[in-house]
Each structure stands twice: as structure tokens, then as C-alpha cells.
Amino acid sequence: MKYISTRDNSKEYSFEDVFIKGLADDGGLFIPKEVKKYSTEELKSLSSLGYQDLAKEIIYPFIGDFMTVNELSDIVDKSYSVFRKDNVVDLIKLGDTKILELFHGPTLAFKDIAMQLLGNFYEHYLKKNNKNINVVVATSGDTGAAAIDAIKGKKNMNIFVLHPHEKVSLVQRKLMSTVKEKNVFNIAIEGNFDDCQNLVKSMFADKEFSNSINMSGVNSINWARIIAQAVYYFYTYFQVHDKRPINFSVPTGNFGDVYAGYLSKKMGLPINKFIVATNKNDILHRAISNGNYEAESVSETNSPSMDIQIASNFERLIYDLNDCDDDETTKIMHGIKKKGKYIISKDKMEKINKDFLSTSMSEKEILKTIKEVHTKYDIVLDPHSAIGFGSLDKVNLEGNNIVLATAHPCKFPEAIDKSIGIKSELPDELKYVMGEKENYDIVSNNLSKTQQYIKEKIKWN
Ligand SMILES: *Cc1c(COP(=O)(O)O)cnc(C)c1O
């Protein structure tokens, strides 16, 4: 499969370029030149596969020139052997609604599903090309832990994770900062998540710096993450489909997870609607309901992994809305950078609303949802998943509704305690983390200071 950039679709890239670079040199996001569309018969032939075998089928067409079928098969099996469920994910029923639990990986959030695969993709690439790299990534809490777990101890690579100082939960931080492998570096930036993300973007844009350290990124714009996430939409569809339309409610920050769902629909999976469920950092809700994509300042909430005002993956949708016009997309993205906003026209809103609905939940509503679900079904949802669940009530959509549960409740014990007065405990095999010594450095929100810190830490062992 060949890839192009949303800001210049005349130049072609291989999957290897796309995976290692993350972002195109023109600042655009990578997307496939063409997406394979499955017929009804083809979908039927995939419908009885187990999760791992399905992942191999879905992913291979996207990466074909990067590795052989057998190599991918080994990597998928290895990546998902560390999950606590045989089929990676779990589906549970709460009344008429289904919950897709995506948090059974090593760091208790859905990000493990893509990240474990990426770690092994890197290993394959570095061995084949005899190279070394430094992964630098910004996190609002969950990406960092998932990336560290996937990369820790791997040869010829280091990982640097920038998290917003004192703005991630204690469990989130412990899962990152207690890892002992020598190739893992945690940096607490004195700022918010968007500051961390801007630092990483600036480091990539500084070619002298990024080339000098062989910098690579695993942020949610990395296409390899999107295809790994598309798999669970297929898997779930095959598990639950009946005669009713199928809708997915997706707790959303960077628009990565829900974009993966949209990709699966573009690949022919007959999904009705995606609900873009946000907390009070609701830029995407304002965009999808009113056409007003305008960044405001970030508020801290009890769903910190969604405390984002710049939804990086949204550019991929903007490209589609503008009929794959790369010049127009570039213009819009420059406008967003300069004026902080993009007003979406009426005809484009009609297009968006064919696939997407949206909601925003207040802190109070989130805690109330956790409580209601607990009382009614004896299940504890984490605050992010509760946003997905509560959003269904708000949009009142008929059909077969599935909520993505993106994190284990034990990652956010304060919110759970506040809502239902229960101490949500870590799974036994992770309890030790809370007592381990932490290792992270606090660095000011400053590009050259952060670059200097990284340069000083790099040594190849
Ligand atoms: C990252 C994250 C999200 C948001 O996912 P996006 O792909 O950024 O939209 C939601 N919930 C949890 C728990 C997360 O870690």
C-alpha cells in the first residue's frame, strides 16, 4: 500500500516511512492513497476469526512491504501474549448496551493494543536496518505508560516520555516512572498536555535536532496505531451484529480511536454512527454539533487522558471533508494554527453528521454516570468510559450500541472514590508498582532545555 500526506498528495511514501517518520515533512498526516474495501462476502469470511488472526488479516494489506506475512503473524502473537484476555478485548452486556473493554493489556488502557505492536515493529525495523533510534512522545497519562512498556529493554532504542507535571493521576505516573530499564526516561514538563505535545512537535520540526538523534514518534497520529485500533471495531462488529444498526460511543481526545472506527467503516464495515464523546474540553463536540472548531484553554478534569484542545487526528477527517484537496487542507490547517479556529461550512457539516454525532459531559454528569452504572449493574466504569456510556443517553440513538471502555477504573481511584466511595484496586500483578521507587525529572516548558536534557541522556549501550 502506498501512502500520501494530507498536505501534498502527489508524493508517495512506503509504510516504513509512515511508521518511522510519524508526521510528513510538509507537516501533514499520512493516509493511504487508497483503502482496501471489503465486500460482504469478504467480511463474512473474516467474521469467525479469533482476535489475533483477524488482526493479521486486517493489518497486513497496510504494511505489506514492511514485513512478510509470517513475520507479522509472529509479531501479532507475541504482542498480544501479554494481555490478560485470550481474545485481547472483552465484551460485556449492561442491559441493552454493550461495553467493549479494551484495557486488559499491561498498562490498563486501550493504548496497549496498538503500542505493543509498535514496540515489536520497531524491533523488526532496527534489526533489519541495523539502526538505532530515540522515541520521543508526549502523554496525557496513558500513552506514555503503554509506550514505555512496549519499548523498555529493547535493543538500540531509547524512549523519552514528556508528561504534564502534576496533571496525570498517581497510578498513571507510577506505571511510567517505576520502570527500571535503562532505555526509559520520564520528563515531567511544567505545563499541560498541549505544551508537551507542542514541545515534541517543535523537536520534530527542528531537523538538525531530530536528525541528530534519529528521532521517532509514537503519538496517536502514527498511522500504525490507527490500523491496530481498527481491528477491534471489526472484531466487535462480528461478535454483536444483528439486524439493528450498530453504533459506537467513543471517549475521545486526539480523535485517534474514533478515527480508527471511521477507517473501518471506510473499509466496508457497515457501522451506522460514531458518537464522539468528550469531557468539558469539548472542541470536537463544538465542531461536530455546530461547525465551530476553535481551541479554548484546557481545563483539568477527572478524565485527564481527554484533556486536550488540539485534536491532532482531526486533520485526516478535514482532508476527507474537503474531497481529498491537499491545498485546501493545508490552507485550513494554517488557518487553525494562525487564528486558532476553523468554521466548518454547512455542506461539510452534513457530511460529518452522516458518520458522527457528538456530546460533552460535565464533571458532575461523569460522576453521576459512574454511580448509576454501579448501582444498576454492579460494574465500575472509569471516568473516560463513563463519558462514553453517559453520552449514549444524551444522543438517544436507536440500535445496537457499544461503548468503548478505554481504561481500567483503578487508574483513576480519586474519581471512583468520589462517585461511589469505593477503592478501585489494581490487578494483583500490578499492585507492586505503587510501592516502587519513582524516577523522573522535572523540566521547564522550554524547547532548548528539553532538547538539552534529551541529548545529555542519550548513550548507546
Ligand atoms: C487516550 C485516551 C482516550 C482518547 O483517545 P484518542 O485516541 O486520543 O481520542 C480516551 N480514554 C483513555 C483512557 C485514553 O487513554
Kindly write down the DSSP assignment for every residue of 27-78, as one continuous string.
Answer: S-BEEESS-----HHHHHHHTT--HHHHHHHHHHHHHTTTS-HHHHHHHHHH
Sole residue written with cell 460535565: 362
CA pair distance 253, 276, nearest whole angstrom: 9
Which residues share a beta bridge with 402? 98, 248
**Does ligand 1 have an atom closer than 6 angstroms to the CB of 279?**
no
Q: How far is the CA of 251 from the centre of ligand 1 (A)?
A: 6
Q: How far is the CA of 257 from the centre of ligand 1 (A)?
A: 7
Beta-carbon-side half-sphere exposure of residue 460 (alpha carbons within 13 Å):
9
- DSSP 3-state of 10: strand
**Does ligand 1 have an atom closer than 6 angstroms to the CB of 107?**
no
> In the numeric block, which cell numbers belong to residue 368?
453521576
Residue ranges of the chain whose pLDDT lies below 50: 461
* Cβ atoms 309, 298 nearer than 8 A: yes
User: Which ligand 1 atom lies nearest to the CA of residue 111?
Assistant: 15
Name the residue at shortest CA distance from atom 1 of ligand 1.
305
**Does ligand 1 have an atom closer than 6 angstroms to the CB of 256?**
yes
Sole residue written with cell 463544538: 286
Please give the helix or strand (H or E) that residue 353 lies within, else none. helix 346-355
**Does ligand 1 have an atom closer than 6 angstroms to the CB of 306?**
yes
Which residues share a beta bridge with 117? none
**Does ligand 1 have an atom closer than 6 angstroms to the CB of 407?**
yes
Q: Ligand 1 test: best mutation among 254, 276, 360, most atoms within 8 Å of CB?
A: 254
Q: How far is the CA of 121 from the centre of ligand 1 (A)?
A: 22
- In terms of C-beta density within 10 A (0-12 exposed, 13-18 middle, 19 or more buried), how is residue 384 classed? buried
Q: How far is the CA of 308 from the centre of ligand 1 (A)?
A: 10
Q: Ligand 1 test: best mutation among 305, 356, 416, most atoms within 8 Å of CB?
A: 305
- The pLDDT, as a whole number, for residue 412 is 93
CA pair distance 305, 178, nearest whole angstrom: 20
DSSP 97-140: EEEEE---STTSBTHHHHHHHHHHHHHHHHHHHT--EEEEEE-S
**Does ligand 1 have an atom closer than 6 angstroms to the CB of 111?**
yes
**Does ligand 1 have an atom closer than 6 angstroms to the CB of 261?**
no
For residue 317, give the nearest of 277, 278, 268, 276 by alpha carbon.
276
Where are any strands of DSSP class E within 144-256? 157-164, 184-190, 215-216, 246-251
Q: Ligand 1 test: best mutation among 306, 309, 387, most atoms within 8 Å of CB?
A: 306
* Cβ atoms 76, 92 nearer than 8 A: no
> In the numeric block, which cell numbers belong to residue 314?
482531526
Q: How far is the CA of 49 from the centre of ligand 1 (A)?
A: 27
> In the numeric block, which cell numbers belong to residue 121?
515493529
CA pair distance 1, 83, nearest whole angstrom: 29
**Does ligand 1 have an atom closer than 6 angstroms to the CB of 174?**
no
Q: How far is the CA of 35 from the centre of ligand 1 (A)?
A: 24
CA pair distance 285, 294, nearest whole angstrom: 10
- The pLDDT, as a whole number, for residue 43 is 98
User: Which ligand 1 atom lies nearest to the CA of residue 257?
Assistant: 7
User: Which ligand 1 atom lies nearest to the CA of residue 406?
Assistant: 13
Q: How far is the CA of 336 from the centre of ligand 1 (A)?
A: 22
* Cβ atoms 372, 419 nearer than 8 A: no
- The pLDDT, as a whole number, for residue 461 is 47
Q: How far is the CA of 173 from the centre of ligand 1 (A)?
A: 16
User: Which ligand 1 atom lies nearest to the CA of residue 260?
Assistant: 7
DSSP 297-339: PPPP-S-GGG--S--TTHHHHHHHHTTT-HHHHHHHHHHHHHH
**Does ligand 1 have an atom closer than 6 angstroms to the CB of 251?**
yes
Count other C-beta atoms under 10 Å from residue 429's C-beta. Answer: 9
Q: Ligand 1 test: best mutation among 100, 406, 408, 412, most atoms within 8 Å of CB?
A: 406
Q: How far is the CA of 42 from the centre of ligand 1 (A)?
A: 30
Find the radius of gyration of the CA atoms of the chain.
Answer: 21
**Does ligand 1 have an atom closer than 6 angstroms to the CB of 255?**
yes
* Residues belonging to the active site: 111
**Does ligand 1 have an atom closer than 6 angstroms to the CB of 142?**
yes
Which residues share a beta bridge with 278? 360
User: Which ligand 1 atom lies nearest to the CA of residue 252?
Assistant: 9
